[in-house]
Structures are given as structure tokens and as C-alpha cells.
Amino acid sequence: MFFAAAAPAREFSLVAYNVENFFDADGVAAYKDYQPATYTPRHLAVKAENIAKVLARVPDGPNIVVLNEIELDQTPESSVKDFPAWLDSVNGRKLADMAADPTFAGLPAEAWLLKALRDAGLDGYHVATTDEKPGPYENGRGTAIRNVILSKFPITSVRTHPTPNARAILEATLDVDGRPLTVFANHWKSGAGDPEAEAVRAGNAETLRARLNEIFAADPNADAIVAGDLNSHYNQKHRYRAIGKTGINDVLGSQGNELALRRKSDDLYNLWFELPSNNRGSDIYKNEWGTLMHIILSRGLYDQSGVQYVDNSFRVLKIPSLNSDVYGRPVRWSRSKIPGGFSDHYPLLVRFRTVEDGDKSRWMPLSKPSTEETGSDAPLRVDTSAVDLFAAASKTSELAPATALRDGSFDGRVFFVEAPATVDPRGFVHVNVLGDSYDVFTHDKDLRPKIRDRAKADGKLAFYGELGTYRGRWQFLVHGKEWLPPARETDITPQTPPGE
């Protein structure tokens, strides 16, 4: 394998992102939720554009993107052979218009994403995908989604590592300015607390571990990154003690003692240990934070040769008023009649640098290295009690007249709404914002008559509401009594927060 002479040192970034089922628009899908009756060209366009909006918030754009839940194209005869040439051919065309054009329907999901990324100013990606084919696994279940790697660095080799009854692991070797870097994209079996699912995840881990052993046998300090949705928590072995042997901790060897890499007693380090334990979370299940997404580093990313980790650069890409709601929860992708939202997982972001001296015998300096190894047993609960609602809310009165509130990017955002209000014959309350009607709803039965009476009496409302849809209708959801400030006689400006 040939690599060019090493270029001067520089920094670059990698994002791992489970985008929650991104499918093309040809209507041929292994999941019933992505048939034409429920998944339209508009869904595709909003989904692609929203993924791009999140990735565009990475400074200078991510150089490498590890993606999960990209549709395994069920009509591979319509694939794109030359992505750069195809992108050039559709320059200037709107993605939404293309999605509605039947001549483009069969294009694979990764083509649509590349188009959305170029339109968002992110361009120049090479593409690596697994070579899986449509059809059933050994257990008869259909193959529906796969892993994809986008890289602004040249991709010098691609390998697919199948595992029985599981999505294949994707391996890509990148030429990072003359320095080889191996990236593994993973999406293991779901059901983190399920012992039967853990057996399948152990199979994924065995496949990956065997390949890593080959790489490290040739070079113990090889630069390698394991990324993606392992459907396991960083502390899986301790969080679910009854499971027994776990794929991530026991088979793969993911652990949290950063200094163990120097002693060569361990060869992998899980970056979740870079964060305080109360900040570890990228997804939510049953009101508990999970760490199903991972970026795990090899020993070689800590030496003074090739590619090197930028110490303490790991973070969860949680963007308030975009992919994160007022409570800090992921704004999920919506499969309702009106598309919107992002994903049930936050992306993970990490930075690396290239180094010039080529010394594999010296280690990079570390600031407060983790020696935690395993992590705590108790799951982290979602806390909605300390939210500063008044600081978090945007004001509808300050929106530009041309703001497209219904383009999907505002779903889950909390607004202070001050708008004309009406009550229909059924007693339902509606407000008019930017010329469109929105329902006003609350699950609090005691609050409903207060909202209705105020709308009837004043012909206007001032309240805090979370924007979203329900059964195809747009609405502002009022979560509690503090979301309805006391009425003022002279205006409907926001109230002073309590205690000020």
C-alpha cells in the first residue's frame, strides 16, 4: 500500500453519527415505515438537510464522518459510480425538487446526503460502504441498513467484515497527509440490556477484535479508530451484571484507563471517560441516559507518530435550538405526516492532529488522564428540574417574517409565543404565528381551561410552547403551569423569571 510523503502537521475532526434511518425515495425498502404511503420525497429532503445542518455546525466541517443507519439500497442497479461528477451535474438544483422528481428516486441514500452536504458548504468527501447485498440474514430477517464512512482524505482500501445475523463492520484505511489511519464503522445488535442480543454483539466484537489483533500484530502502535453505535454502554459489564460476558468490555477490551495504553496492558481506550460521569450520555431510553454511540482509540493515537488524538477534545454534539430540546434531549426524527427532527442519538465529535517526528517510543502529554477503567453502575437519569425555561426560549415576535418554522429544523424548540388566539367550536385553542395556524395543547387538564379562557377573553395568548406535530397537525405543547405566565393587561411580553 502506497502513502505519499507526510505533509506538515495539522488538526482535523471526526464525527460518529447514527442518523436514525435515512432512506432513499424509491419506495423499495425493507422497513414498512419507509414505504411511499408514510415516507415521501419531502421526508427525504428534510432528513438529508437536517443531517447536513448538524454536521455544518462542526468548525470547518468534519473531515471524517462515520454514519450508521444509512439504507442498504434495495435497488443497487441505480447506484452512483462517480459521486463528484454526479454532484457537479446537479449543481444549482434544489434538493427538495430533485427528491420529487421520479428520475432521481432510485439514487442511494448516500448520494442524497452528499448533495445536502454540498448545498450546506460541506464538500469533497470520498465514500466507503460495506459490500452487503439485499436479502435475509441467517436468521431470516432482512438486511435494511448499513454503515458508511465519508472522508475528505483519500480512501486507500475498504473491507467488509460480516458477522452472522448482524450488520457488517466497515473498515476503511485513509491516507491522512501521508499517514495511514484505519477507521472501523460499527452498528451492533440493538437491545443493550438483552442477554440474547448481547450474544450477537459479542459476535460483532469477536469479528472486530480478530481484525484489530491482525493490525496490532503487524504494528502494536498502529493508528486505528473504532466508532459508531455499539448498542452497548461504556460501562456495559457493570450496568448489566446479569448479562455476564459483554461484547464491548470483555471481548473488544474497551476500557477507561488512559495510562494503561502506555503500559501496553491494554490497546484500546474509550473516549466516554474523557467526560465527567454526569455528562456521559448521547441517547435516552426510559428516561435514562445511554452511551450507545462510541469513539474508541488505539494505543497508536497517543504516541508521537502519524495521527495523534487531541487531548480532551471529545464531546457530544448537542446543539441547543437545533438537535437538542429545552431539556437537553435529542430531537428525534419524526416519521409523521409532517417530517422534522434529527435523530434519537446525538453525534460524537473528536479532534486529531498529525505529527511530524515519527517517534513511536514517546507518548503525548496528557492533562488529567483518566484512570477510571470501568465506570459507575448506576444509570444517569434525565433531569428536567433545573431547566432555565426563560433563558432557553426563543421569541416568535423576533422571528424574521420569512422564517420557515415548518421546515423541520425547529422541531422540539421552545418558543415564547405572543400571538393572536382563537377558540374553535370544539374548544380547541389556536394561535396564528407568521401567518400559519398552530394548535395550543397541554397534557395538564387543570391548565387547559385557563388557556382557553384567556384566549377567549383577550383574543391573544402569551405562553411558552414546544414546537412539534401531532397526527399531522402543527402545535405548541405547553408542558406545565410555569409555561403560562400571569396575564398582563397592557401587553403580552415575557414575564420576569421567578426570583429576579
Helices (H), 32-94: 41-55, 83-89
pLDDT for residue 78 is more than 70: yes
pLDDT for the residue 89: 96
Widest CA span in the chain? 78
pLDDT for the residue 495: 43
pLDDT for residue 3 is more than 70: no
**Which among 202, 203, 200, 223 has a CA at the least distance from the CA of 212?**
223
pLDDT for the residue 6: 60
Sequence-separated (6 or more) residues with CB below 8 Å from residue 184: 169, 170, 171, 208, 211, 224, 225, 226, 227, 228
Q: What is the mean pLDDT of the chain?
A: 91
pLDDT for residue 491 is more than 50: no
pLDDT for the residue 251: 98
**Hey, is 330 helix, strand or coil?**
strand
Q: Which residues pair with 316 in a beta bridge?
A: 348
Q: Which of 77-81, 294-298, 382-386 has the lowest mean pLDDT?
A: 382-386
pLDDT digits (tens, 9 = 90+) for 421-446: 999 999 999 999 999 999 999 999 99
**Which among 498, 496, 328, 294 has a CA at the least distance from the CA of 412?**
328
CA distance 82 to 409: 30
pLDDT digits (tens, 9 = 90+) for 306-340: 999 999 999 999 998 789 987 889 999 987 788 88
Query: What is 352-398 written as a DSSP string?
Result: EEE-SS-EEEEE---SS--B-TT--SSPEEP--TT--HHHH-EEGGG
Domain 389-483: CATH class, spelled out: mainly beta
CA distance 118 to 91: 9
pLDDT digits (tens, 9 = 90+) for 343-398: 999 999 999 999 987 889 999 999 999 999 777 777 899 887 766 777 778 899 88
Q: Which amino acid does the sequence have at 255?
A: Q
pLDDT band at 200 (very low <50, low <70, confident <90, very high): very high
Of all residues in the chain, the percent with pLDDT exceeding 90 is 71
**Hey, is 211 helix, strand or coil?**
helix
pLDDT digits (tens, 9 = 90+) for 207-217: 999 999 999 99
pLDDT for the residue 385: 72
Q: Which of 3-7, 135-139, 148-152, 457-461 has the lowest mean pLDDT?
A: 3-7
Of all residues in the chain, the percent with pLDDT exceeding 70 is 94
CA distance 318 to 296: 19
pLDDT for residue 71 is more than 80: yes
pLDDT for the residue 471: 78
pLDDT for the residue 413: 84
**Residue 244, number of CB atoms within 10 A of its CB:** 12
Numbered ranges of CATH 2.40.50 in the chain: 389-483
CA distance 382 to 327: 9
pLDDT for the residue 5: 57
pLDDT for the residue 291: 97
pLDDT for residue 494 is more than 90: no
- Whether CATH 3.60.10.10 fits 11-381: yes
pLDDT for residue 168 is more than 60: yes
Q: Which three cell numbers stand for residue 490?
A: 397592557
Which helix H or strand E contains 224, and what residues bound it?
Answer: strand 224-229
pLDDT band at 182 (very low <50, low <70, confident <90, very high): very high
- pTM comes to 0.85
Q: Rounded to 5 degrees, what are φ and ψ at 111?
A: -65, -45
pLDDT band at 484 (very low <50, low <70, confident <90, very high): very high
pLDDT digits (tens, 9 = 90+) for 27-51: 888 888 898 888 999 999 999 999 9
